[in-house]
Amino acid sequence: MIQGTGSHVGKSVVVAGLCRALRNRGIKVAPFKPQNMSNNAAATADGGEIGRAQALQARAAGLAPSVHMNPVLLKPETDRGCQVILQGRRAGRLESGRYAERARYAPLVAESFAIMGRSADIVLVEGAGSAAEVNLRGGDIANMGFAEAADVPVILCGDIDRGGVIASLVGTHAVLPPAESARIKAFLINKFRGDPALFSNGINVIEKRTGWPPLGVIPWFVGARHLPAEDAVGLESGEQGGPLVIAVPELPRIANFDDLDPLRLEPGITVVIVPPGRPIPAEARLILIPGSKSTIADLAFLRAQGWDIDIAAHLRRGGRVLGLCGGYQMLGRTIADPAGIEGPAGTVPGLGLLAVDTELTGDKTTIAVRGRHLASGEPIAGYEIHLGRTDGPDCARPLVEVGGQPDGATSADGHVCGTYVHGLFASDMFRRAFLATLGAAASNLAYEAEVEATLDALAAHLEKHVDIDRILTIAGYRG
């Protein structure tokens, strides 16, 4: 089990790289994360959903995503509550004040872990947040609670790039009970910039203070930006890629923002993530309103930033607007929530840029899809994860066709469109056709091939800098 000294230390990427490295060695490996908290989800073939990071790890391992790779997915809806996904299916809410109640999910976690282990030589388990969250130890299923229940050894990963890695590792040792500290068999230093020899004394201090041996110092892996990110904490404007600007308002409950990943890698495109309090840049050619876990609340936030005014001005200048999933719902005339799924029951006005109306319903659509973009005829592949139905006159001009059925809507002038399909831009031919309508020059980016090449490069990176043979010994592998 790979645990971390905190969130965003690189656990997900390390596990993905190890999955690919072990697969390349001919070892049958499977990823597993008992509990994830993220609004960036992936659809599985059986109609469930898991964290996007586990879907990437499955790909690295050469496996199809399974709901058992991430049996508990918590999707934040407010600052104090999450939607709970159990083994891929929506199962109510969990309020922050009742966090210890996670313990009731332990039997499902154990069941999924056993299922993943049946066909694997090694299961690589990813922890969540920090191993040292002793204040949340009651009912823990994410870190040491799981490690003890499943009796798995732990490797602790620290992030040197953020600073304080010695204190983070030594401090984790200090606050853990002796039995849990003893379960940690080694440590890793991640995201190192510069000459690792300069940190040799730091390695010695950590080993002396904790008794844990080092497994390696992992230099900063530049290619990580080519892989889907796990959550919105790392969401920021990419490097200046080209003259065509796509602006994305940063919504508080932004969801499935991996939609942006292929666009970030396009050489002629600059994706600008617009933070709260900033106007949408006037030079944007396209405003992309992303998915949202709380559509009505995020729509109110969008208006509070004045972004609705910016969008209207953008359209007057001849710009284009695309809404994906929750962003599509926001573009319509109304959003009705008669059952109070997202909050108080009622109906709120949308942005009124598409002649459609949405009703939020209790039935959740979670499915992988294939189809075509109707304007260009190019094939698409993606997924849908949403609550609600959208209908209205502009649906007579759908954006795409999925399984022979229309999806989405387009305004009469063609400048505003939306769809429930996520992942569209990973389809190379569609992406090129769509960007061409914005005036972008054609590129030869093959997105899926780029992800595969990056996973191979990551595996080689870890083979060079990490003692993987020692990891196999810690895991008890005798292949």
Query: Over the Cα atoms of the chain, what is R_g?
Result: 23
Q: Exactly one of 68, 173, 386, 422 is catalytic; which is it? A: 422
Is residue 65 within 8 Å of residue 50, measured between CB atoms?
A: yes
Calculate the dihedral angle through the C-alpha atoms of 343, 349, 352, 356, rounding to the nearest 10 degrees.
70
Listed in order, strand segments (DSSP E) in 33-86 are 35-37, 41-43, 49-51, 72-78, 81-86
Specify whether the CB–CB gap between 260 and 302 falls below 8 A: no
- What the block records as the tokens of 184 is 């940690």
> How far is it, in rounded angstroms, from Cα 165 to Cα 220?
15
With beta carbons less than 8 A apart as the criterion, state whether 129 and 233 touch.
no
Alpha-helical segments (H) within 62-176: 106-118, 144-150, 165-175
Given a contact cutoff of 8 angstroms between Cβ atoms, the answer to whether 31 and 15 are in contact is yes
Q: Would you give the DSSP letter of residue 25?
A: T
Residue 294: both structure tokens together: 């709380």
- Return d(Cα 208, Cα 84) in angstroms, integer: 41
Active site residue 422: yes
Q: Which residue has the tokens 């991640």?
A: 190
Q: Is 317 buried (19+), middle (13-18) or exposed (0-12) by CB count in 10 A?
A: exposed
Cα distances (angstroms) measured from residue 383 to each of 43, 220, 294, 367, 430: 6, 32, 19, 6, 15
Contact 61, 452 (CB under 8 A): no
The single residue of 325, 373, 417, 465 carrying the catalytic annotation is 325
Spatial CA neighbour of 12 closest among 56, 48, 44: 56
Q: Which amino acid is at 121?
A: D
Query: Are the beta carbons of 195 and 222 closer than 8 angstroms?
Result: no
Q: Give the whole-angstrom CA distance, residue 281 versus residue 247.
A: 7
Catalytic residues: 325, 422
